[in-house]
A and B are shown apart, each in its own frame.
Chain A
Amino acid sequence: MDCIQPIETQGATYRYEEDGQQAVDHVSLSIPKGSMIAVLGHNGSGKSTLAKLMNALYLPTEGRVLVCGLDTALEENLWDVRRHAGMVFQNPDNQIVATVVREDVAFGLENLGVPQPEMLPRIDEALLAVRMTEYAAAAPHMLSGGQKQRVAVAGVLAMQPDVMILDEATAMLDPSGREEVFSTVRKLNREKSITVVWITHFMEEAALCDRVLVLHHGAIAMDGTPREVFSQVDELKKLGLDVPPMAELAEMLRQGGLSLPAGILTVDDMVKELKACL
């Protein structure tokens, strides 16, 4: 089935308790096919709740969430929603279920009732895509954190989803593990046109996405390209977030009298701009 509109939320709202605060507060947003969107926000801002609304782990208490046009609130859509939108969580040790990598990747397919002859090539293809083929027969506990997360990504990928939602999938990894998981997912996004929702605390990862969404008190506080969002240094700080160091330095240099354009995020950007004025 062709998925034209991977994720659409219409006034989606979620309360954990009936009279409690809204963890997600009337969020309306649509994520175009093939894009990679970063979701930022401090703890408690509603990022994870929003993620869980996107694959029917939670159902909105108000409003609607549509995954590939399917209303997540309708029970008959549940399996299709989960097949279209796969999720990867933060802790690599909490989402590995099997004792062999290949079997772990098979888990989701078994649940979907995919026939075995079809299963094997899908597993191989998924492991290849995350560059874990040589570990197919390995025991997951012998892998590094980054490798475990790539196995988790393969498990979702094997289900051939249209959307992948990664909820702080790199939070527990070291810098090289973070880079290996991020670039793997970015590549899948580009080459297989999988729509990605990338929830993170790392501004430098967000800077590499197509679009950045900032949540605050469950509502959308900022929404734009990385350059648009990260040029608002004061606003980000007010929301309890970091600013990429080079964006912050650019702001400091501007205050010192240097005229630098908006949107400097990386060392590369900064070198280029400084060469123009030094």
Chain B
Amino acid sequence: MKKTLLIIAIFIATGIAAQTKYQTGMQKAFNLWEQGKMTEASQLFERISKAEPTKWMPAYYAATVETLTSFGLKDEAVLTAKLTKAQEFLDVAKANSENNPEILIAQAFLNLGYIAFDGQKYGMTLSGQNNQLYAKALQIAPENPRVILAQAEWNMGSAKFFGKSTAPYCAQIEKAIELSKKEKIESEFYPKFMLKRAEEVLQQCKG
């Protein structure tokens, strides 16, 4: 009896150890991200994604970091190379988790990378795509604060451009902040709501 228990215990321990590998890896990548070591963080996410080919989160984060670091680039060759790479990761994430609202808004964010770089060249097709992506994400997850915030921010941009009132979007941002406080995240490493950022956006909206 004791023998069996022990063997089971060992098995469990090994099992836990294997799981921890993913957890430590992800944790390490987030730490690198926090330290501003974006390349290392993105590369670690890339490695985890290759080692865990059925999980969507490592690929999703690899794409997000690549996209994030493409903003402000001046060289179109580097920009497209980075965003093409980000797109490959996002496609992996999509294949592992269909109709995931987090991935949908990550796609819209990636498109924004192109639009921000050259609105005339990319805006015509990609802004339509973004409208569609936000609408779809909201349909799937009407109470997801990240989706609401991302969409409000997107709409706020165009409202500002056309000199229209941003008031309805401020309300949406407030709603997102409200919802984020109630939100219960069950799976580990699931994308978090960036409260600080939301408050900044709210400030911009009201200002």
Q: A and B: partners?
A: no
